[in-house]
Amino acid sequence: MKEKVLERFLRYIAVDTKSDDSSETTPSTEKQFNLANMLKKELEDLGLVDISLDEKCYLMATLPANTDKPIPTIGFIAHMDTAPDMSGENVNPQFWPDYQGQDLVINAEKNLVLSTTEFPELKMYFGNTIITTDGNTLLGADDKAGVAEIMTAIEYLIEHPEIKHGTIKVGFTPDEEIGRGVDHFDVAKFGAKYAYTLDGGMVGELEYENFNAAGAKVHIQGRNIHPGYAKGKMLNSILIGMEFNSLLPVFDRPEFTEKYEGFYHLIKMEGSVEKAMLQYIIRDHDREKFEQKKKLITEAVEFMKKRYGEDVFRLELNDQYFNMREMVEPVFHIVELAKKAMEDLGIEPHIVPIRGGTDGSRLSYMGLPCPNIFAGGHNFHGKFEYVPIESMEKAAKVIVRIVELYEQADVTA
């Protein structure tokens, strides 16, 4: 498995699949089809059935059951795109075999060092072979590691027919990195009762809780007057925007929060004296606290309207996704089986809340309960991204073990 998951991973990261959040199409970049078509051919060569790649770049396939025992159909899902934060073109991976706990100089010319002081989790991988970038691109472990792990596990199951299993579904999606990963995912067509995304980080991560999420845009219409004659007339929308932001709790920002603590995050501010816009994301694991945060930002806008005028402020506030825990808890055995799979392989499970969202969170509300499993990478979306080969191997083995446990478990199909 180790050699095969590595070989696949290196082939996949050589294909640039960066998504584009400014695009209105699905997929957001046509080049995502390059990897999708490669994977489609591999699935055909492996002998899977019901293979489909639609015009939106959603790739699905089926590994038929090899037993008559009634077993729930389960799926494994990963995304093909990489983040728009950094280039995914001409990725040049570097290998650090038998890692001994030292700092890794990934680019001496740029003085880029993967430091154990800044990234202490590196020391978890003593003796492993670590793959890093060369400091010019991201690596693409998010989520091509997940893609490689699923493909390798499916191949292993085909090559070992003595492992009895029910019907297994495979799904690869576009545009996850820009929040559109399951916009056009056909749950009924996919046909799984339960699924798992392979999109987590460090070895052992198992996640079935994520943020409730909303997006807000605060539009401010100012009044631009010549500054020499502006007294009592000018409304500087930039300054008014700064005043608005000061109404939100300082310690409810990402840089002051952790674990189950939510936040308001100002992600963009643009404008001039005449007009400005502040864009926020709002996050909280607790649904009640999430609703309170939305209420507070709404009340802040209403306060500013009273201060400066009804037409000066306009709020766009939209829910984005919700905590999958509500959908997963009624079928919690899917988490317990994944946990047992890790324990059976000597992997310590780390069940942690996601301080973000995954495709699985939205899929869970679309009728497909879908916790998230580690893919093995660290420092996603940037030049310090890395993944140990052994972590990818372990993730592939976890998939196989989950499949085995579903055959053994008393789970209604």
> Which pair of structure tokens corresponds to residue 210?
């994520």
Say how far apart CA 257 and CA 381 lie, in whole Å: 21
Q: Residue 337 to residues 149, 328, 350: CA-CA distances in angstroms? A: 18, 13, 14
Q: Is 176 a catalytic residue?
A: yes
- Tell me, letter by letter, the H, E, C secondary structure of the chain: CHHHHHHHHHHHHCCCCECCCCCCCCCCCCCHHHHHHHHHHHHHHHCCEEEEECCCCCEEEEECCCCCCCCCCEEEEEECCECCCCCCCCCCCEEECCCCCCCEEEECCCCEEECCCCCHHHHHHCCCCEEECCCCCCCCHHHHHHHHHHHHHHHHHHHCCCCCCCCEEEEEECCHHHCCCCCCCCHHHHCCCEEEEEEECCCCEEECCCCEEEEEEEEEECECCCHHHCCCCCECHHHHHHHHHCCCCCCCCHHHCCCCCCEEEEEEEEECCCEEEEEEEEEECCHHHHHHHHHHHHHHHHHHHHHHCCCCEEEEEEEEECCCHHHHHHHCHHHHHHHHHHHHCCCCCEECCCCCCCHHHHHHHCCCCCCEEECCCECCCCCCCEEEHHHHHHHHHHHHHHHHHHHHCCCCC
The one-letter amino acid code at 410 reads: D
Say how far apart CA 293 and CA 248 lie, in whole Å: 9
Catalytic residue, chosen from 143, 176, 177, 390, is 176
Catalytic residue, chosen from 16, 81, 142, 252, is 81
Q: Is 410 a catalytic residue?
A: no
Residue whose tokens read 């198992």:
206
**Residues with catalytic annotation?**
81, 176
